[in-house]
């Protein structure tokens, strides 16, 4: 057998061993065995001197070819083995992806506060300035300044919680009206929102505490048509396009003419249902032109200036929107309720 044949056999055997290597460690050993400084192929190369001169070149070439081939095979095998090892490791990391995640409870806004914010935003867009006003109010601002005659039955309609002879919990946000008129000059466009209190038995539709919004506008040439237009604008923004408003006469001491305002029933769109008792309308607000007595009481010339005012409760809107049938849910704070909305 020639040295060449010998080399070929050696090469084949080495390649076969590389192909069969089971680990990178085994490959490392093979690499040393064949390609290392004292390795087999280095040994083969040293033989060159003992060969006839005419064979030396070819043999040298063959050894170098084999070296390169073997080296490439080892590298390739090593990559394959590394990949297999990674694959095996990843398989070992397998998860049950159907197990639940670490479900973080997100925070939510309270549905009634969200409604207040929505209402507030609409009035801000309509040019109103939001003001903060006391809930512990004087009898004067809550009633007298609003043209409630002394000992008039109109006061019965809003039985008040008294703190002492002069102070009570405001029965309506309208109590802010004179406060704001006194510190401003027309044109005035202001709004306030917040808690109000009335002596009332608590049930699904009544409470001793409720939330209201109140707006008023005083300027030259303000008319009842402006009031209607403003509330129509609000209704469309709040309840959607196509919502109409209906005005009919009502009485509140601080406005004249006074009106009760209804909007197209949001449930049946005005065709009549059990929520609107078949009328197609839902009562929304009390409104009217600010009574000259109220303006004059605040030092505003009622000949030069006129104004309108309106106010309404907040609770009803999310009740209708979300189908909530019990007012008490809002302030009971049952998380099973709050986490739904």
Segment contacting other proteins (CB under 8 A): 31-39, 64-72, 80-88, 103-111? 103-111
Among 57, 125, 183, 206, binds other proteins (CB under 8 A): 125
Mapped onto helix, strand or coil, the DSSP state of residue 310 is: strand
Give the DSSP per-residue string, 55-87: HHHHHHHHHHHHHHHHHHHHHHHHHHHHHHHHH
Q: What residues between 238 and 277 interact with other proteins by CB under 8 A?
A: 246-251, 253, 256-260
Shortest Å distance, C-beta 198 to other proteins: 10
Report the alpha-carbon distance of residue 238 to residue 247 in Å, rounded: 18
Q: What is the rounded (10 degree) CA torsion for 149, 150, 151, 152?
A: 0
Among 163, 182, 206, 271, binds other proteins (CB under 8 A): 163
- Pairing mode of beta strands 209-219, 188-197: antiparallel
Provide the mask over 28-47, with x wherever binding to other proteins is found by CB under 8 A and - wherever it is not: --------------------
Measured from the CB atom, the residue of 161 and 269 that comes closer to other proteins is 161
Shortest Å, Cβ 21 to other proteins: 39
| Nearer Cβ to other proteins (94/106) | 106
- Which residues, in sequence order, are CB contacts of 280 under 8 Å at separation 6+? 264, 265, 268, 270, 271, 272
Q: How far is the CB of 320 from other proteins (least distance, A)?
A: 18
CB of 293 to other proteins, least distance (A): 9
Q: Does 128 help bind other proteins (rule: CB under 8 A)?
A: yes
Are residues 308 and 288 in contact, defined by beta-carbon separation less than 8 angstroms?
yes
Q: Name the strand (E) or helix (H) holding 124.
A: helix 111-125
The two tokens of residue 275 are 């929520």
Q: Which is nearer to other proteins, 44 or 160 (CB)?
A: 160
Residue closer to other proteins (CB basis): 35 or 290: 290
Please report how the helices 53-92 and 24-35 are oriented relative to each other, as an axis angle in degrees rounded to 10: 170
Out of 225, 241, 274, 323, name the contact with other proteins by CB under 8 A. Answer: 225
Cα torsion 63, 66, 71, 77: sign: negative
Binding segment for other proteins (CB under 8 A), chosen from 61-69, 71-79, 95-103, 318-326, is 95-103
Cβ–Cβ < 8 Å for 127, 215: no
Touching other proteins, residues 176-205 (CB under 8 A): 187, 189, 195, 197, 199, 202
Rounded Cα–Cα distance for residues 168 and 164 (Å) = 7
* 332 contributes a contact to other proteins by CB under 8 A: yes
Min separation Cβ 18 and other proteins, Å: 44
Among 23, 127, 206, 242, indicate the residue that binds other proteins (CB under 8 A). Answer: 127
Among 169, 282, 285, 319, interactor with other proteins by CB under 8 A: 169
Rounded CA-CA distance 207/200 in Å is 6
């Amino acid at each position: 057998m020639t040295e060449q044949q010998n080399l070929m056999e050696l090469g084949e055997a080495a390649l076969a061993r590389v192909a069969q290597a089971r680990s990178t460690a085994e490959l490392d050993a093979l690499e040393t065995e064949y390609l290392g400084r004292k390795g087999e192929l280095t040994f083969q190369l040293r033989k060159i001197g003992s060969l006839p001169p005419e064979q030396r070149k070819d043999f040298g070439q063959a050894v170098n070819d084999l070296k390169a081939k073997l080296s490439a095979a080892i590298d390739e095998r090593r990559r394959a083995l590394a990949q297999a090892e990674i694959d095996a490791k990843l398989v070992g990391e397998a998860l049950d992806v159907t197990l639940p995640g670490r479900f973080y409870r997100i925070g939510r806004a309270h549905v009634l506060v969200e409604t207040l914010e929505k209402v507030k935003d609409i009035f801000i867009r309509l040019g109103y300035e939001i003001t903060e006003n006391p809930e512990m109010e004087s009898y004067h601002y809550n009633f007298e300044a609003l043209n409630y005659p002394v000992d008039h039955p109109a006061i019965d309609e809003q039985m008040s919680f008294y703190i002492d002879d002069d102070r009570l919990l405001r029965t309506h946000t309208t109590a802010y009206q004179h406060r704001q008129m006194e510190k401003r000059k027309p044109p005035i466009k202001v709004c306030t929102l917040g808690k109000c209190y009335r002596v009332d038995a608590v049930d699904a539709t009544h409470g001793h505490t409720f939330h209201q919004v109140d707006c008023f506008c005083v300027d030259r040439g303000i008319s009842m048509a402006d009031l209607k237009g403003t509330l129509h604008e609000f209704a469309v923004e709040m309840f959607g396009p196509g919502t109409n408003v209906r005005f009919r006469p009502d009485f509140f001491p601080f406005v004249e003419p006074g009106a009760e305002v209804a909007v197209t029933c949001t449930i049946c769109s005005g065709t009549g249902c059990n929520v609107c008792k078949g009328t197609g309308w839902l009562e929304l607000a009390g409104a009217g032109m600010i009574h000259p007595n109220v303006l004059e009481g605040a030092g505003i010339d009622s000949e030069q200036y006129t104004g309108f005012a309106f106010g309404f409760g907040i609770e009803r809107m999310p009740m209708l929107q979300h189908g909530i049938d019990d007012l008490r849910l809002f302030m009971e704070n049952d998380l099973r309720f709050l986490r739904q909305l």
